[in-house]
């Protein structure tokens, strides 16, 4: 009976509806945090979100940012992404996707699904398990860092150091 249901989905309900749906309130702070995520569609940590939101709402506290991020995550409006034991990052992309963590610059890039094949099809599960979520992540070098490395290793005196944004 799987009705059909999304893939793009998730976004059928507006942020407000999602929040209200849980008996919660869309406050200024939650909206500001949400907007900070949606405005620049990257993968900031809670502290980075905090710094962004401070720009327009100087009175907001870090604890509130943590609370808002948790709420937004619970409501399915953003995703929390973790890598090793590094601080959690938050991702506004609700499409099915994986993440690439760049060892060169620390950036996190979205990696989208290429085929219809689901990761579950690749793995052998014990009988009778129930899978509710899956998560795929890669480590390596983003195009910029890969190029920088190729240049410094093989190439000429291509001096350039690698970008670093964290």
Partner DNA sequence: AGACTTAATTGGAATAATTCTTGATAAGCT
Partner DNA sequence: AGCTTATCAAGAATTATTCCAATTAAGTCT
- Interface positions with DNA (CB under 7 A): 19, 23-30, 45-47, 57, 59-64, 66-68, 70-71, 85, 87-88
CB of 141 to its own copies, least distance (A): 4
How far is CA 66 from each of CA 32, 49, 83, 89, rounded to the nearest angstrom? Answer: 13, 9, 18, 11
CB of 124 to DNA, least distance (A): 28
Looking at residue 45, the DSSP 8-state letter turns out to be: B
Query: In what helix (H) or strand (E) does residue 49 lie, and over which residues does it extend?
Result: helix 46-56
CB of 127 to its own copies, least distance (A): 6
How many Å apart are CA 31 and CA 53, to the nearest integer?
Answer: 10
Q: Please report whether residue 133 would count as binding its own copies according to CB under 8 A.
A: yes
Looking at residue 161, the DSSP 8-state letter turns out to be: P
In 10 A of CB 10, how many CB atoms? 14
Q: Please report whether residue 94 would count as binding its own copies according to CB under 8 A.
A: no
CB of 113 to its own copies, least distance (A): 6
Structure tokens at 39: 């405005």
Q: Please report whether residue 98 would count as binding its own copies according to CB under 8 A.
A: yes
9 interface partner picked from DNA, its own copies, none, CB below 5 to 8 A per type: none
CB of 106 to DNA, least distance (A): 12
How many Å apart are CA 43 and CA 92, to the nearest integer?
Answer: 8
How far is CA 58 from each of CA 62, 89, 110, rounded to the nearest angstrom? Answer: 11, 22, 30
Q: Please report whether residue 134 would count as binding its own copies according to CB under 8 A.
A: yes
Binding its own copies (rule: CB under 8 A), the pick from 93, 137, 152, 163 is: 137
Residues that bind its own copies (CB under 8 A): 80, 82-85, 88, 98, 100, 103, 109, 111-115, 117-143, 146-147, 149
């Amino acid at each position: 009976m799987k009705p059909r249901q999304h893939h793009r989905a998730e976004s059928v309900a507006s942020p407000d509806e999602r929040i209200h749906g849980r008996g919660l309130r869309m406050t200024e702070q939650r909206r500001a945090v949400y907007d900070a995520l949606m405005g620049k569609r990257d993968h900031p940590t809670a502290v980075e979100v905090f710094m962004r939101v401070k720009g327009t709402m100087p009175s907001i506290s870090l604890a509130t940012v943590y609370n808002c991020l948790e709420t937004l995550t619970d409501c399915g409006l953003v995703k929390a992404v973790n890598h090793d034991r590094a601080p959690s990052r938050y991702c506004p992309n609700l499409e099915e996707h994986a993440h690439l963590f760049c060892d060169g610059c620390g950036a996190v890039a979205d990696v989208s699904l290429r085929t219809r094949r689901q990761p579950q099809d690749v793995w052998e599960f014990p009988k009778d398990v129930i899978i509710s979520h899956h998560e795929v992540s890669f480590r390596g070098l983003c195009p910029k860092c890969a190029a920088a490395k190729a240049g410094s290793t093989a190439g000429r005196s291509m001096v350039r150091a690698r970008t670093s944004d964290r």
